[in-house]
Structure 1
Amino acid sequence: MTTPAAADPTPTTGRRAVGGMRALTLATAFAAASGYLVMLVAGRTLGPSDYPLFATYWGAFFALGGVANGLMQETTRAVRSARVGPAAVLPAPGTGGRVRLLPAGLMLGLVLACVVAVSAPAWPRLGLPAFSGVGVAVMAVGILGFSLQAATAGALSGTERWGLYAVLLTVDAALRLGVAGVAWWAGDAGLGFAFATVAGTVTWAVMIALSPATREALTRAVDVGRRRFWRNTASAMLASAGTAALVVGFPVFVTATVRESDPAPLVGAVILAITLTRAPLLVPLTSFQSAIIVYFVQRRELGPRALAGPLGLVTAVGLVGAGAAWL
């Protein structure tokens, strides 16, 4: 079933979209820089012996967050697909009914929070003995907020409100950095940095409270019914889970398999070094993922030819990066 579509307020080729992309680029740079600072502040405060504990907690949280990002990816695709073309697409009868984005984020968040709670007995064996108890509760609440934030980010991206998406990224990073700064100032030995890890996940609530455009974006229709939406989301989550586990969650694997004879300062130094060197790659890729999805949704008719531009850009950046690494 279709209904006439209203003109999209932020077309991809418009001047506002260009300004939004510029804001998104600046927000990505700020998020990357603040992530560096959090890592360095934590390393300075905790020292090489205790840093692996924080790095493992951080890695476990963002590995789960990487899984939840599957919801952001499908929300972006579904919202934008419903807006492409001369008509807005609504789900046909018998497809499970209309998807409501914020309740979808709440549902996924509750499931992941339950996973965190159920896994608590295994935390000491994974290298997280100091974070059992309160740390488990902090991560459970944090991943619930992260899932709601994923739904919000997907809605903003699907409606091409790149300026607001940039604000979301900036506030998220600023909150995390601010709480880490307080933990450093207070000389906290652990839990303060656990709170810093999840601090940015309240940004979705701030955006909804202060931005009518964010609330409007979350009411947008998607191009599939509930059953298809969740199948697509599950596929996206499964695809992102492997990457999240290996790339973001690697400190968990390191601390879970470390031997008692391995010097803790050396383990902490290795984890910190890898974390700092991967950030320039991971932060931009994650931040611009939604923009890439929108790009391909709007060029579906081009097929493989739509890959030419992004692949050329990635190749150019890779060559520059490889040259810098060689030097």
Structure 2
Amino acid sequence: MTEKTAGKSLGVVGLAVFLSAALGYPVLIVAGRGLNPADGAVFLAFWGVVFGIGSALSPIEQEVSRLSAHADLRGGRVGPTALRTVAVAVIAVGVLGAVLALPPVAERIYSADDISLGLIALASSVAFALQFGTRGVLIGFREVKPYGGLLVTEAGVRILLLCALLVLGVTGLLPISVSVALGSFAFLPFLVKARKHVDFVGDAEPWSVVARRTLLLMLSAGLTASVLTGYPAVAKFFAAKEDLDALGSLFFALSLARVPLLLLSPVQAMAVPTVVRLLQDEDGHRRLVSLLIRGTLAAFVLAGLGGLAGWLIGPWGVRLLFGDQHVVAGWAVAGLVWSSVLLGAVLLLAAVLVARKQPGRVLLTWAVVAAMSVLVLAFTPGDMVLRSVFGLVVAPTVGVFVALGLVVRAGSRDTSVTG
């Protein structure tokens, strides 16, 4: 692939990723305006389960794309190891989705013993696993246009279904949730394109090896998702029914406060190769540490400024986008923006650890972040809004120092360290 072709492909994929992420916001706006705050809280808990599991599955795309790229370089098709990777993911999310659909658990997440939302989330999760496998094959074999088409189609299906619901005057919790879940099945028209690159027979790594690697990758991504897309579901688990109105408005404010992470996506994509190249220099580690310390200080300054802006205009922005029924205190929006900026810093520091081939330290970083948020939610006194915001403030603040410390302690430029 020439440099010009590679740049064009990157542009197509980048545009598709941005459009796919941006097209999620109209769905949230429709839900915010069409549902009362209590139902909105339940919907965003459902959204958190679906996309939290989707985030946990993102390494499946990366792993399958890695296997597919190697096969493409050999001039062949990707073999059964990729299929086993996807199969392990399907089984894992199937078991997790079934547990989350059990009445005692579903009641905590969705505030009802009706398991309908849990079953919808289960179906969506299994479809997501198959979708990420399809995406991995497509991008691994440089099928850039179909890959971008799948990303946009997934988000577009949800928009079209929501528009149909609005035309029919249907805006209830269950129909909106179904429209969200159906987007996960957008991979079906693209299976034919991916299928021609797959060899269903031949040598494969043992199931035990594939399962261990796949589950470790998913665990690390799942911990990350618990404080990102999945946080509403985690917070909702600790909430009582009387908290739903306030939590619904807070969760919609959280979706608005996450915009900085959307803008950070291109920087994250560049982080790993940039670090790898930097560490080839004799003085690379020292320069990297100096850059990261300055960057961390800048992140705290930016988080403070963002928090101030969130305090002043955040409540107005939430009402403007999601409706006047959503009232959120300025201090709460400030905390959510602070959290989003520092989570971006943790993501970048984790990318440095990935570049140094230290997956154990990546897992440790996100385990600390996830544990801090859960501990605050479970044991901090005060109402649920305070605990939810405080959990999101404390977790990434601690996580920044943990990740930075793990990077600094890597005292050489040897990237073969596994941590």
Normalised TM-score (structure 2):
0.59
Distance 1:261 1:231 in 2: 42
Asked whether the 8 Å contact 1:20–1:166 carries over to 2, the reply is no
Q: Which amino acid aligns with 1:137?
A: L
Q: Which amino acid aligns with 1:55?
A: L
Find the residue that maps to 2:35 and give its secondary structure.
helix
Structure 2 residue 225 is matched with structure 1 residue 225: no
Structure 2 residue 103 is matched with structure 1 residue 121: yes
Mapping for residues 19-58 of structure 1, pairs under 5 Å: 19-58=8-47
**Of residues 190, 193, 214 in structure 1, which corresponds to 2:176?**
193
Give deviations 1:59-92, integer Å, cap 9, x for gaps. 01111122222211211223334556xx57999x
Distance 1:276 1:245 in 2: 17
Gap regions ≥5 residues in structure 2: 310-419
CA 259–136 in structure 1, closer or farther in 2 if over 3 Å, else same: closer
Q: Give the C-alpha shift of residue 219 in structure 1.
A: 4.1
Distance 1:142 1:252 in 2: 16
Asked whether the 8 Å contact 1:42–1:180 carries over to 2, the reply is no
Q: Which residue is 1:72 aligned to?
A: 61
Asked whether the 8 Å contact 1:156–1:162 carries over to 2, the reply is yes
Q: Give the C-alpha shift of residue 241 in structure 1.
A: 1.1
Q: Which residue is 1:142 aligned to?
A: 124
Find the residue that maps to 2:258 and give its secondary structure.
helix
Q: Which residue is 2:146 aligned to?
A: 164
**Of residues 239, 243, 256 in structure 2, which corresponds to 1:258?**
239
Asked whether the 8 Å contact 1:179–1:192 carries over to 2, the reply is no
Q: Which residue is 1:60 aligned to?
A: 49
Q: Which amino acid aligns with 2:136?
A: G
Q: Give the C-alpha shift of residue 247 in structure 1.
A: 1.2
Distance 2:252 2:121 in 1: 21
Give deviations 1:177-212, integer Å, cap 9, x for gaps. 222333344323211121122122212211124xx3
Asked whether the 8 Å contact 1:82–1:223 carries over to 2, the reply is no
Q: Which residue is 2:366 aligned to?
A: none
Asked whether the 8 Å contact 1:135–1:191 carries over to 2, the reply is yes
Distance 2:145 2:211 in 1: 28
Mapping for residues 173-252 of structure 1, pairs under 5 Å: 173-185=155-167, 186-209=169-192, 212=193, 214-219=194-199, 225-227=205-207, 228-252=209-233
Q: Which amino acid aligns with 1:143?
A: S
Asked whether the 8 Å contact 1:67–1:241 carries over to 2, the reply is yes
Asked whether the 8 Å contact 2:107–2:114 carries over to 1, the reply is no
Gap regions ≥5 residues in structure 1: 1-10, 92-97
Find the residue that maps to 1:132 and give its secondary structure.
coil
**Of residues 253, 257, 260 in structure 2, which corresponds to 1:277?**
257
Q: Give the C-alpha shift of residue 283 in structure 1.
A: 8.0
Give deviations 1:239-295, integer Å, cap 9, x for gaps. 101001121111112222224554x3321111111112214515864x998x769x8
CA 68–128 in structure 1, closer or farther in 2 if over 3 Å, else same: same
Q: Which structure exhibits the higher relative contact order, with contacts defined as CA atoms closer than 8 Å and separated by 6 or more residues?
A: 1
CA 23–48 in structure 1, closer or farther in 2 if over 3 Å, else same: same
Normalised TM-score (structure 1):
0.74
**Cα RMSD between the aligned structures?**
3.9
Q: Percent identity?
A: 22
